[in-house]
């Protein structure tokens, strides 16, 4: 609790700026200074819990993580680990306990916490579009950030300056994520569906880092990864934490070099039986964790997918009409 009070005093200025401009906005970039690494957010929680329609999803969770550290949330599937990840990033409202992320109290400052945090590899909330290329994903994320998260002062800058800043953000994010687009089968024109699992994870981490968050949250890090790939994934997150960003990662088995390990399957909880994250009837609805930006992003992807399906539906009719016209001319 001493760290919670100290972080509140130290981060009160950041909390105020988060309410007005956001943790990833231009005002924060100006405050940090050009070229500075993002400052990590401390994560502190005491007796933290979330209750769903069928009982407690997680309860009596304690977290004490310093800024710029690697935090592993360990537990079996269905133990509430993803809901804990979303609650600590301001995307799901807790039921009991006290928590602060970057000095911002939860749930009172959930919106501000969302602005200083970013999600990667969270099914249903932060996913790649299989039809888009790597370059298209990166450009889309930059445009969405400029449209919804950018500082009003950025609109006064020239187009060349904004393009240069976008290129710099993309290059920095790719470097931090360890993704070499030149090594991909078709370079940055490689579709997301053609990426290997580890490459897809690196791309999602790079997309999250474009906004320069203070907290990066990654779900199911070790899902369907081999032993070698799992080690590479943890090295990736360790390097991100080493650059100053606090990393919160959900996993089945925490690595030995994690700074903090939070176990969601520990502690007395007689109400947890029957509660599973994968069942919509037994756990909180993950759609509630969508921010306005997430909803707009998801709607854009759904509209694009619907247009592709409509084009495919009309294509046989067009081909038939062309064949009849060609037959008539013959």
pLDDT of residue 242: 94
Q: What is the pLDDT of residues 110-139, one digit of tens each?
A: 999 999 999 999 988 889 999 999 999 999
Q: What whole-number percentage of the chain has pLDDT above 90?
A: 54
Least confident of 11-15, 104-108, 175-179: 11-15
Least confident of 185-199, 212-226, 288-302: 288-302
pLDDT of residue 162: 83
Residue 274 binned pLDDT confidence (cut-offs 50, 70, 90): very low
Confidence check: pLDDT of 324 > 90: no
Residue 151 binned pLDDT confidence (cut-offs 50, 70, 90): low
Confidence check: pLDDT of 178 > 60: yes
Give the count of beta carbons closer than 10 Å to the beta carbon of residue 134. Answer: 26
Average pLDDT, stretch 63-80?
93
pLDDT of residue 307: 59
Confidence check: pLDDT of 6 > 70: no
Confidence check: pLDDT of 180 > 60: yes
End-to-end CA distance of the chain: 85
Confidence check: pLDDT of 31 > 70: no
Q: What whole-number percentage of the chain has pLDDT above 70?
A: 66
Please check whether residue 70 is in contact with residue 241, taking contact to mean a CB–CB distance below 8 angstroms.
yes
Confidence check: pLDDT of 310 > 90: no
pLDDT of residue 36: 45
Residue of higher predicted confidence among 267 and 72: 72
State the residue for tokens 């490459």: 199
Mean of all residue pLDDT scores within the chain? 78
Least confident of 17-26, 45-54, 95-104: 17-26
Domain ranges of the chain: 2-129+213-290
Q: What is the CA radius of gyration of the chain?
A: 22
Confidence check: pLDDT of 247 > 50: yes
DSSP string of 209-261, one letter each residue: HTT--SEEEESSTTTT--HHHHHHHHHHHHHHHHTT-EEEEEESS--TT-SEE
pLDDT of residue 78: 86
Superfamily of domain covering 2-129+213-290: P-loop containing nucleotide triphosphate hydrolases (3.40.50.300)
pLDDT of residue 119: 95
Q: Which residues of 104-119 are buried (b: 16+ CB within 10 A; e: fewer)?
A: bbbeebbebbbbbbbb
CA distances from 316 to 320, 322, 324, 326 (A): 6, 10, 12, 15
pLDDT of residue 146: 75
């Amino acid at each position: 609790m001493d760290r919670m009070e100290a972080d509140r005093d130290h981060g009160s200025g950041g909390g105020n700026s988060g309410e007005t401009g956001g943790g990833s906005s231009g005002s924060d970039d100006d405050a940090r200074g050009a070229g500075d690494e993002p400052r990590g957010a401390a994560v502190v929680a005491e007796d933290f819990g979330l209750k769903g329609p069928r009982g407690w999803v997680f309860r009596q969770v304690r977290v004490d993580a310093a800024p710029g550290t690697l935090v592993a949330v360990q537990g079996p599937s269905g133990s509430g680990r993803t809901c804990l990840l979303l609650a600590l990033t301001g995307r799901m409202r807790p039921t009991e306990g006290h928590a602060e992320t970057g000095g911002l109290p939860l749930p009172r400052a959930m919106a501000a916490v969302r602005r200083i945090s970013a999600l990667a590899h969270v099914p249903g909330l932060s996913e790649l579009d299989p039809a888009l290329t790597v370059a298209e994903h990166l450009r889309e994320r930059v445009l969405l950030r400029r449209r919804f998260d950018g500082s009003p002062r950025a609109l006064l800058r020239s187009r060349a300056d904004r393009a240069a800043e976008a290129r710099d953000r993309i290059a920095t994010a790719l470097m931090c994520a360890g993704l070499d687009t030149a090594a991909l089968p078709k370079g940055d024109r490689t579709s997301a569906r053609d990426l290997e699992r580890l490459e897809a994870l690196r791309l999602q981490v790079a997309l999250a880092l474009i906004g320069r968050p203070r907290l990066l949250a990654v779900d199911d890090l070790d899902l369907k990864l081999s032993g070698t790939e799992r080690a590479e994934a943890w090295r990736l997150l360790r390097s991100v934490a080493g650059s100053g960003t606090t990393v919160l990662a959900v996993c089945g088995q925490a690595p030995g070099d994690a700074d903090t390990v939070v176990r969601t399957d520990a502690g007395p909880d007689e109400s947890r039986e029957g509660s599973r994250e994968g069942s919509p009837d037994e756990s909180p609805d993950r759609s509630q964790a969508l921010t306005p930006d997430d909803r707009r992003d998801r709607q854009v992807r759904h509209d694009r997918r619907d247009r592709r399906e409509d084009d495919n539906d009309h294509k046989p009719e067009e081909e038939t009409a062309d064949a009849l016209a060609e037959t008539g001319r013959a």
